[in-house]
Structure 1
Amino acid sequence: MKTYDRKCPYCNHMNRKLYLEETGGLMECEKCGEVSYVLIPQAGEVYDMRSRSIKKVREFIKGSALSAAGPLEAI
């Protein structure tokens, strides 16, 4: 399974070797312990959630493989 490196949106700590596909995009920061949802990039997709509205994020998720991961009510 592929691993990913992601920065924590709360403390900017770089979390390495995360199994985001296994957790459905959830990660717990190794430094501050906050749990956050991060997008798993599909081939060629880059998306910055901080610069988009929630409506745009929902549209992006519906069009990606994450839509099969579960309901979007939490977003």
Structure 2
Amino acid sequence: MSRANPNTAIQRSNTSVIPKALFGCELWTSISNVEMQHLEVANHFLLKRAQGLPHLTRSDMVLGIAGVTSIEALIDLQT
């Protein structure tokens, strides 16, 4: 079984998955820290899978390797 190119998977995530997950986030009046953490964990999981990294890889390293920002920063940009 062949895997998708990591850059292609990250690009697909940035153009399709993340916008759908954050649709309407500018209307979220209050999001708890727990809910924000759930969004971050899901994003880190997807990025690790896209890059073929082990699940124990540090999440801050995954963001740096992929060249993407955190979900919280993306929400701040849209509000």
Q: Same fold (TM over 0.5)?
A: no
Higher relative contact order (CA closer than 8 Å, sequence separation 6+):
2
The TM-score with structure 1 as length reference comes to: 0.29
TM-score by length of 2: 0.28
